[in-house]
Amino acid sequence: MRLAGRVQALPPYLFAEISRKIAAKRAEGVRIITFAIGDPDIPTPAHILAELHRAADDPANHRYPESEGLPELRQAIADWYERRFEVRFDPQRETLPLIGSKEGIAHVALCLIDPGDIALVPDPAYPVYEIGTMFAGGSCYRLPLTPEREWLPDLEAIPEDVVSRAKVLWLNYPNNPTGAVAPLEFFEKVVWWAKRHDIAVCHDNPYCDVAYDGYRPVSIFQVPGAKEVAVEFNSWSKIYNMTGWRIGMVVGNPVLVDALMRVKSNIDSGIPQAIQRMAIAAVYGPQECVDEHNRIYQRRRDRMVEVLRGIGLEVEPPKASLYVWAKLPDGVTSGEFAARLIEECGVVVTPGRGYGEHGEGYIRLSVTTPDDELEEGLERLRRWGGLRG
């Protein structure tokens, strides 16, 4: 059997490789503590689950859904954005539910990229930006993110011949994997730059309500005129702990939203309607759960930062996201360090190199590990103390 070249060139998905390593150690009888994947351990709030249970009994929800989602859900998306960011969207033209934002992120390249086109992709970054581009036949030009620039790309440093072939710029703040945030002034420059060069902007914003110390992340659509060039991906996964239910959304430029809907209508049959109903309940129901989740994550963040500093890593407490991004000593590679942790103390972290060349020298840890396991894992790291000499 001869597979397509795009599949043969496809690297293993980062977390799939980590999962295999975890399984191998567990097969040896090792109790593994993992800080690798940003999958909230806190259950979906009870009032949201109650709506799922109710909706599951309704025969109307047992049939095929529509790719564009329930009108009530699109209205809920628009209402949520107005409540959260004071920006308005036409529910029918400027919002679209997704089978998790990852699905839309992967498919939107099919709306923008022809063979030979370029996507501008941050480095380090969520791998799906690059993979979607590759599936569409395009190539990526990497934009280095560095601590010297506070993990923000330098758009003016992109060569003109690259800009002329670029069709889309990917951004993600609060950032995965670095936990960095971007001020509204940065997005103002992005919108101006994108209009000047006729480049679409895709902003991935699933951590906008996972924030600490009173910080409030922004949306690119708080910039006037952003709808002319941008769409924003978001998700109920991180806000309401609904990763397993696979439901997200995209909002923004109506031409691009429509293009993505047309792609989806030819690929999938939409989100199960009972899950759409629970998402509606999440938007209009009690919101205290969001602050409570963030208090838990912030407490875990603080413990993690304390222990990582204690074993010789450089780390700043992130203002948002589910991740702590820790710098290793010079000369220590992220893959080697992560392998040592698995072998020597049964703790799993994510090597920064998995997010791109400029992620080398860092590791990422997630705060979504249950409290008892988190404390055990941090205690193992504290006792190990491998970098202290």
CB 79 within 8 A of CB 282: no
Tokens of 201: 């902007």
pLDDT for the residue 364: 98
pLDDT for the residue 143: 98
What does DSSP assign to residue 217? -
- Sequence-distant (6+) residues with CB within 8 A of 178 are 124, 145, 151, 318, 323, 325, 362
pLDDT for the residue 17: 66
Q: Specify the CATH number of the domain 64-284.
A: 3.40.640.10
With pLDDT > 90 as the criterion, what percentage of the chain qualifies? 88
CB 235 within 8 A of CB 248: yes
Tokens of 35: 């800080």
pLDDT for the residue 8: 81
pLDDT for the residue 234: 98
pLDDT for the residue 5: 86
Topology annotation, domain 5-44+288-384: Aspartate Aminotransferase, domain 1 (3.90.1150)
Domain boundaries of the chain, sorted by first residue = 5-44+288-384, 64-284
pLDDT in tens, 318-333: 999 999 999 999 999 9
CB 22 within 8 A of CB 34: yes
d(CA 152, CA 146): 7
d(CA 352, CA 335): 8
Low-confidence ranges of the chain (pLDDT < 70): 13-18, 386-389
pLDDT in tens, 277-326: 999 999 999 999 999 999 999 999 999 999 999 999 999 999 999 999 99
d(CA 96, CA 74): 6
pLDDT for the residue 67: 86
